[in-house]
Amino acid sequence: MRARSVGALGAALLVAALSGCGASGSGDEPQKATSTPDAPATTPTAAPLPAGTATPPGTLLVADFGGDTVSFIDPARGPFASVKVGTAPYGLAVGADGRAWVATAEGVAIVDTRTRANLGRVPYRTESGPVTDGEYRGGGMGIALAPDGKRAYVGVNVPDGNGALEVIDTATRQVVDTVPVGRRPFDVDVSRDGAEVYATNHDSFDVTAVDARTLDARRHEVAPYGTEGGLGSWLKPHYAVVREDGRLLLPFEGERLAVLDPRTGRVAIEEMTANTHQHGAALTPDGTLLVVGTGPIGSADEDPSLTIRTKDGRERVVPLTGPHEDVAVSKDGRTAYVTGGFTRSGYWDGITVVDIATGETRRLAGGERPLGAAVL
């Protein structure tokens, strides 16, 4: 792992302070890149399903961050249906009952994924400003379900301020509690026993751990490069996964994997090898960590990639064409679906399908700037 001087980085980071995920909302949303290699995928769009036909298992559901829909995608042929949910959908979570909970700028939409029907929207209790789109919009970002499906937890971004974790009763479809968290809660995760909820706060360099029963909250700094540069720093947490031992894994820059013990707040650092700015993360059923590399941004040098990291720390790095954002895994753990709706410029309307065993890739058409994803 190459050593980085945080002090030396400070000046460079401040130069880039008002662009990218380094900033909290100053400046305009960048224009969409349309030239190759970020052109749409060549895979044809699938034919629509006849009315009344149930959504097939294995279908990919993605949040169309560049629009107001979620798309249903055949993993071999591409999109075959979409459902309107609200402006700029970001993250989504799907329960055992087939209902998807989608964090949009306007509220949390509920979608019956089996019938592809909109079941309504839960408004936020937190005031997050006018409904807009783009990287810095207010409203829901990360979202997760309790293991028993009785609660949905959504991180609400409040532009230029601290965010909130809102707790939704999935039976009554109402917000029942709100917990203050840090700035821009990119991701929300739940412990495997459902006892705690974790909001990964991008712009405040921390994770808020919330007791699901009492709603008592603890803030844990996760900043393996330090916090110099503040809102202008690129070296912040983005997404997390919860390992089987209860620790959170947060990748940074394809160089450092922060392992947070949420009980103590202690952070251990493990080496990574991709050397690329990293965003989305997921675990396969056998505990393999998948991490999306977005490209040479901030302190990172290498192109976009998908890191495949085994439980013992061995890594393979699969090159990707063009920036990507998040990743979902097939039920059998053999295939990764990496969404092209990067939160910065260079995003594209598709998905890269990765064979985890061989590293072979293919591109698949998929929604409008697809961001969050789940396999049904």
Give the 3-state secondary structure of residue 110: strand
pLDDT of residue 232: 86
DSSP helix/strand/coil, 39: coil
Range scoring the smallest mean pLDDT among 35-39, 44-48, 260-264: 35-39
Give the chain's count of helices (H) and strands (E).
Answer: 1, 28
Contacts of 306 (CB under 8 A, 6+ apart): 290, 291, 292, 293, 317, 318, 320, 324, 327, 336, 338, 352, 354
Query: Is position 14 within any domain?
Result: no
Q: What is the pLDDT of residue 22?
A: 61
Evaluate if residue 29 carries a pLDDT over 50. no
pLDDT at 51: 77
Q: What is the pLDDT of residue 333?
A: 97
pLDDT, mean over the chain: 89
* Separation of alpha carbons 300 and 302, rounded Å: 6
Which residue type is seen at 9? L
Flag whether pLDDT at 14 surpasses 70. no
pLDDT digit string (tens) for 219-277? 999 999 999 989 889 999 999 999 999 999 999 999 999 999 999 999 999 999 999 99
Does the residue 47 lie in any domain? no
203: CATH: 2.130.10.10
Average pLDDT over residues 175-191: 98
What pLDDT is recorded for position 202? 97
**Is position 4 within any domain?**
no
Give the pLDDT of residue 214. Answer: 98
Does residue 154 lie within any of the structural domains? yes
- Is a pLDDT exceeding 50 seen at residue 41? no
pLDDT in tens, 322-367: 999 999 999 999 999 999 999 988 899 999 999 999 999 999 999 9
pLDDT, position 21: 67
> 226 lies in a domain?
yes
The tokens of 119 are what?
């079941």
Residue 287 counted as domain residue: yes
Residue 196 lies in a domain: yes
Over 90: is that where the pLDDT of 127 sits?
yes
What's the predicted TM-score (pTM) here? 0.91
- In angstroms, the CA 91 to CA 251 distance is 19
Beta bridge partners of 120: 110
CB 184 within 8 A of CB 24: yes
Q: What is the pLDDT of residue 330?
A: 98
Number of domains in the chain: 1
* Domain membership flag for residue 366: yes
Residue 189 or 32, more confident: 189
Phi and psi (nearest 5°) for 34? -120, -5
Handedness of CA 239, 92, 63, 162 (dihedral sign): negative
Sign of CA dihedral 116, 122, 128, 130: positive
Higher per-residue confidence, 76 vs 46: 76
For position 50, what pLDDT does the model report? 79
At residue 267, what are phi and psi to the nearest 5 degrees?
-120, 120
- pLDDT of res. 309: 98
* Structural domain boundaries enclosing 297: 59-375
Tell me what pLDDT residue 134 has.
92
In this prediction, residue 45 has a pLDDT band, given cuts at 50, 70 and 90, of: low
What is the rounded CA–CA span in Å between residue 43 and residue 41?
A: 6
* Cα distance between residue 240 and residue 55, in whole Å: 29
